[in-house]
Chains A and B, each alone.
Chain A
Amino acid sequence: MAQLETLRAHESVFPANPRDELLRADRLPHIWCPGCGLGIVVGCFVEAMRASGIPQDRHVVVSGIGCTARIPGYLNLDTYHTTHGRAIAFATGLKVANPELEVSVIAGDGDLFNIGGNHLIHAIRRNVDLNIFCVNNFNYGMTGGQFGATTPPGARTSTTPYGNFEASFNIPYIVAAAGAPYVARWTVLHARQLLQSMLRAFQVQGLAFVEIISPCPPTFGDLNNFNDALAMMQYFQTCSRVDDRADLSKASLSMKPPDPIVVGNFVDVKKLPYHEVERNMIQSALGRSK
């Protein structure tokens, strides 16, 4: 509340945030830690939404559980904060029942690649017309920084005190292999490219997937030689390599400077989305439009 009052005191200088109509300003300040990348994701999302030309009424955002999953709660839209891992399954029901909706899922790596992994690959296989924005911070931030499926091998987390014994998922490689027609990866440092990717995701017919690499300063960052958020942003700046034609099998992340972070728009192909296949086949089978 004190922060809010300070903000209000400066209203003469900053009368209102130009994005207020797209945000639930009455819910601010948000719950995220200093140095977190999620604010940039929110900014990019609302700007992409505004640029999409799709009416605000038709945008729907679904999330599961975790820090990233709190994003929809700050957006002035129809928003659904559901259960851990189930955002994509919930969003699939929404989209299939009403294909007019522009449905986005904003979720963390834990939500999508650990507990929700099965729903993810099946939604990609079905090519449900969803925009999935996966913020990858390499650990479970909200519960205190435990390791997950995206934690690089050897990395320290609150449950890998001797280093991570497990191999990690290479997100764009999996998503492309499952058949997503649009796959991109950016870090939160690449705000402009990220915004353009989100905009592209709204346009793509079918499942569009964007991985967003983000710092988690108090947990993953702190235990893995990034002294603060700035140190990780500097790593993003110095070691990111834009390569739209990258060999995705080699795009896994060690999060150890100077190992590269391969980013880019990796896949962008045409593929009929589920609801259109459903409509076409039923029309042809029943001989009439629904």
Chain B
Amino acid sequence: MRTLRWFTLLLCVASAPGLPVQNIAVLTDHLYTMADGAQGGPGMVLIRDGKIEAVRPGPHQSSPDGYTVLKAAFVTPGLIDTDTTAGISGAFNIPADQDQDEATDPNTADVRTLDSFNPNERLLKVLNQYGVTTVQSAPGPRNPIAGRAGIFKTAGIGSTPATVEQLAVREESAMVFNLGETPKITYGKKEKAPTTRMKTAEIIRHELSDAKGYEEKWDKWKKDGADVSKQPSRDMKLDALVPVVDGKLPAIFNAYRADDIDTAIRIGTEFHLRYLLASVTEGYLIADPIRRAGVPCLAGPVMQRFESLETANATFENPAILKRAGIPVALMTGYESYVPKNRIVLFEAGVAAANGLSMEEALRMVTSDAAKILGLDDRVGSLAPGKDADIALFDGDPFEYTSHIVAVLTSGQLSYQRSK
């Protein structure tokens, strides 16, 4: 799909990344709002105070007075990476900047991405420059119970460095569980549990069961009059798991091999969890059980190296096969241990589009469908009045290798602009 390219990005008012929020009109020949209705026609998006004010489909739009005008051939919502370690696993890949895996205890339910997230991490800037404006940043792959993920913007508002609170869309978004090879290899080397998949599952079931008992104990204490002298002792790990067993905090099960995905479904069903499956390298091999369980999938990067037996059956067609099976699918990049330090969902979606999906279907996996699966669709993932003005502007088909991102708006502010 090759269409005209506008190499020029018109800026009527002097503007640079970091300037305060202003009113912007985005004009395009190919508007992908990813809201309901036909996609890809001409149109205009108006932005006021960081939010989308109006979306006006149709050709020959003229922008209202007082709006900075941005033009680009293709316009999409800012992209969403539904599961990455960007922000806590730094680009240099040395102990000084690696904070994704607290591999000292197989249960670190008490830790939060929020407390390690570096808003000035350069990988966040890289993602933003590829149009990724929202990430769910999650603890790494090594602990069976790894801790709580958070959802963040990749660029702040204003010219001063942002704090993590300023970037946070949701400070605690999910509890991450890891199955398969990595936990057992991590602890096997230390001659500690788990050294088998059996034990990994047992640790998770055990802790979830304990969290239920813990909650009951506290409920009973409150019911019995909340006598301070009889107050149960606090356990930070179980405390963190209570909203998970209550179905208030989603669980993310990171699993690669088909039987590990099946284990996740087994545990999710047993404890009535609200949960998502992540990575799902072999998801296409058990698409039917996933569909029957009604679990959305965050499909891992298919361009990833085959670093292990459990990723050896990766296929470019995984997102398409899962989608065709009727499973809600979004894309994620996960954790990278070496070069490159992070994958880019824009590129992953392109490969998905070239391997069994339509361009629009693939785009939904990194925008509207991703937002729905994460429960963020009231704020991001589509271009509609009232939503955050997170917008990616392209000079060609977003997925074409040779297209460029010409500008990115994050929360209504120009966070990236191509220099030529």
Tell whether A pairs with B. no
